[in-house]
Structure 1
Amino acid sequence: MAMTDQMGRTGMLAVLRERYFSSPGNTILSIICFAILALIVWTVLDWAIFSAVFSAAKGPGACKAADGACWAVIDARWQLILFGLYPHEEHWRSGLACLVVVVMTVLSCIPYFWNGRSISIIWIGGFLTFYFLMKGGIFGMTVVDEQRWGGLSLTVFIFVSTVLVGMPLSILLALLRRSDLPWISGLTGIIIDSVRSLPLLTILFAFAVVLPFVLPDWASGDKLYRAILGSALFFAAYQAEIIRGGMQGVPTGQEEAAKSLGVRYFHRIQRILLPQAFKNALPATINQFVITFKETSLFIIIGFFEILASGNAAYGTGNWTFAFVEVYAFIALIYFAFVFSLSRYGAFLERRMDVGDQ
């Protein structure tokens, strides 16, 4: 074992020597680059940790006198960033609702639950639990109107609702797009291409502001749900093309063989076509999930207090107006945690499925 470790270290040293120190010129250039990199790392660490102010006990004045970051604004305003306008005494409900979504996501990532019935139960059950925790009205919980939702919980609600509504719709659109009837496939193609040709912001604005003018009062609903419906339609249009591309990667002989054996259409789609299509479209699907989560920040334009709007309020009121960099860095870290975890899980799935093919 010791000999193997020594050989590994020797091999690494040889690679480093070949790449960075193979000649006097490369050696000088490498030293300069490493020195610049070390300076950048030290400057960032000094600003973010060593010279930073973490406690809000001394107020904003301590931050102004310090040379580093003012993380005290996070200490003072973290509840506003995470929970928005949600009633202070009910913050436990908002935090528990976010935990429900995390548990729902973790369960969805376990291979044991990878079937249509289990995934449906997990997502629908988790979503309903999230909704009733946020909304209240049952088990003695006070009702909290959607206009008072905000922060991270609203961002999570928008993302989960968009995926929950948009994914079945995307499957339906993909199947209609490949229909043998020209007028069905053509009309579906027009719908998909029309939605994809519009910016998401335009769709959100149309569903949130314009749609009530053309609908009766009883059908207009709440602005949040109209905007989520527009976001789900936008997600479905892109995801439908991703799924259709995955379907095109499935050999046509498999479906023809199933037809010759008398397998019904529903079973051909459920057990033969869609599993392979999702496997082929996995990288693009994970990428679409990441994009959808980041696009929740656009809801600030139509007046919703999601996490970015909550961050703006955190430094935009009181004496913390100078600490906007720290607030945005904290919000960026939250986005990074969600997106990076999702991308790493996608990479794990790709490796797992590649191994299954060998």
Structure 2
Amino acid sequence: MKYDPQPTLPAPPGTLGVVGWMRKHLFNGPFNSIATVVLAYFIIIFMWPVIDWAILSADWIGTTRNDCTSDGACWVFISQRLNQFLYGFYPEAETWRLDLAFIMMAALIAWLIIPKTPFKGWVAAFTLLIFPFIAFVLLSGGYFGLESVDTHKWGGLSLTLVLAVVGIVAALPFGILLALGRRSHMPIVRSLSVVYIEIWRGVPLITVLFMASVMLPLFFPEDMNFDKLLRALIGITMFQSAYMAEVVRGGLQAISKGQYEAADSLGLGYWQKMNMIILPQALKLMIPGIVNTFIALFKDTSLVLIIGLFDLLAIMQASANDPNWIGFSTEGYVFVALVFWVFCFGMSRYSIHLEKRLHTGHGNRA
């Protein structure tokens, strides 16, 4: 008897699409259904005034505060001050240099993170070794006919990105070296690494920035002009590398002893063992901790106000104190919070994607 397979029936309509997702996750039982309804009620009660203020009753178009006539948010303040929020006090005619530098950086990062793009090794080398000099020339000027722009004119989101990117890129290799030093069998190297890590982790970043601005120039000749932004970058890098070292050390400790013994049995030297066997495995385990440290650093850049640098938050506060726009600081804080959230959320989601792509397989993922 010949077997005649029947066609596969489609899934029931109630298990597909939005309805199916809601039945599976929100209404999959009496208790969950009641909890969903109660929480939805409270969310609507508390969120509706926020939505009405921020969107429905808000003023979006205008040039002065007189155009804000409703009881909602005055987003005219943000639109009129947007250039200052993005570029600080950078000369308006030269802002194209900032745009070009950050577009190049975004393109290089996209090239590196998108799977299957060719020449990743060359692009990575260009990004780490050549692009920083190109960005420095574009931002500071003074070369190739570009107008020189002092760093005290840098500000807004562009300054926040400079501080965060330089701090992130510089802190990771220093953190790896400190972690390796702390696990070293050489007593002097281990002791120096422990002292460095514990000292920098024991003081707040705001103190580090203040000391970097006031005390660091004392270690250089009197006639040497030590830029304030460079002092902040050195302080942030030294501070953040101590935290990064502990994240890396945790990843190194998670590698089983058998991996070290297997590398030794192959006759590999210390640096060969670390570069080829241990660190590639450990870095995959450290992705959540590394990204968490990067996110903390990105938010901590707002502390540079203590040494007179005007990042995005400081620029917003200065703009809100303008007599023409007094009373609209709430809109400014909401805008700044949204910008920080977009960058931090983006880093968080990419780390989750990277974990899945590298098959770390540790714990539940969102």
TM-score normalized by the length of structure 1: 0.89
Aligned match of 2:3: none
Name which of 131, 153, 174 aligns with 2:136. 131
1:286-317 C-alpha deviation (Å, 9 max, x unpaired): 10010011110000111001111111122211
CA contact (8 A) 1:300 1:309 kept: yes
Specify the alignment match of 1:6 in structure 2: 14
Shift of 1:103: 2.2
2:91 is equivalent to residue 83 of structure 1: no
1:33–1:177 Cα change, 3 Å: closer
* Match status 1:161 vs 2:166: yes
Q: 5+ residue gaps in structure 1? A: none
Contact 1:82 1:310 in 2 (8 A): no
Q: 8 Å contact 1:101–1:127 — kept in the other structure? A: no
Does residue 109 of the first structure (1) align with residue 113 of the second (2)?
yes
**Which residue pairs with 2:146 in the alignment?**
141
Q: Does 1:98 align with 2:106?
A: no
Structure 1 pair 118/97, CA: closer, same or farther in 2 (3 Å)? Answer: closer
Shift of 1:219: 5.8
Distance 1:88 1:11 in 2: 50
1:332 paired to 2:325: no
2:50 maps to what in 1?
A: 44
**CA distance, structure 1, for counterparts of residue 72 and residue 86 of structure 2:** 24
Distance 1:137-1:15 versus aligned 2 partners, 3 A rule? closer
**Deviation readout 1:204-244 (Å, 9 max, x if unpaired):** 11111122234323566212111111100111101011111
| Partners of 1:277 and 1:355 in 2: CA distance | 10
Which aligned pairs between 1:1-358 and structure 2 lie closer than 5 A?
2-8=10-16, 9=19, 12-13=22-23, 16-19=26-29, 27=34, 31=37, 33-57=39-63, 59-63=64-68, 65-111=69-115, 118-217=123-222, 221-354=226-359
- Please identify, of 189-198 and 37-46, the stretch whose mean Cα deviation from structure 2 is larger: 37-46
For residue 183 of structure 1, report the CA deviation from its aligned partner.
Answer: 2.2
Q: Shift of residue 153 of structure 1? A: 0.9
Report the secondary structure of 1:217's partner residue. coil
Secondary structure of the corresponding residue to residue 89 of structure 2: coil
**Residue 239 of structure 1 contacts residue 285 of structure 1 at CA under 8 Å; is this kept in 2?**
yes
Verify the 8 A CA contact 2:108 2:123 in the aligned structure 1: no
Deviation sequence 1:288-347 (CA, Å, 0-9, x none): 010011110000111001111111122211311111011111111111111000000001
Match for 2:287: what amino acid? L
How far off its partner does 1:17 sit? 4.2
User: What letter corresponds to residue 49 of structure 1 in structure 2?
Assistant: I
Task: Write the distance in 2 (CA, Å) between the matches of 1:67 and 1:206.
Answer: 45
Q: Which amino acid aligns with 2:44?
A: A
> Would the aligned equivalents of 1:47 and 1:67 in 2 still touch at CA under 8 Å?
yes
| Contact 1:249-1:277 at 8 Å conserved across structures | yes
The structure in which a higher percent of residues are helix is 1
Give the superposition deviation at 1:116.
Answer: 7.0
Contact 2:159 2:312 in 1 (8 A): yes
Structure 2 unmatched ranges of 5 or more: 1-8
More displaced, 92-101 or 118-127? 118-127
Distance 1:46 1:170 in 2: 47
Aligned identity (percent) is 37
- What amino acid maps onto 1:107 in structure 2? W
Query: In the aligned structure 1, how far is the partner of 2:128 from the partner of 2:122?
Result: 10
Tell me if structure 1 keeps the 8 A contact 2:112–2:120: no
Q: Is residue 197–residue 242 contact of structure 2 (8 Å, CA) maintained in 1? A: yes
Asked if the contact 1:205/1:302 (under 8 Å) is kept, the reply is: yes
Residues 21, 172 of structure 1: CA spacing in aligned structure 2 closer, same or farther, 3 A cutoff?
closer
State the alpha-carbon separation in 1 of the partners of residues 350 and 13 from structure 2: 30
For residues 25 and 307 of structure 2, what CA distance do their matches in structure 1 show? 54
* 1:16 Cα deviation from its structure 2 partner: 4.1
2:26/2:36 contact within 8 Å kept: no
Shift of 1:12: 4.2
AA aligned to 2:321 is G
Q: CA, structure 1 residues 255+118, in 2 after alignment: closer, same or farther (shift >3 Å)?
A: farther
Whole-Å separation in 2 of the counterparts to 1:99 and 1:84 = 18
Cα 1:181/1:87, change in 2 over 3 Å: same
CA distance in 2, matches of 1:347, 1:32: 31
* Cα deviation, residue 355, structure 1: 6.8
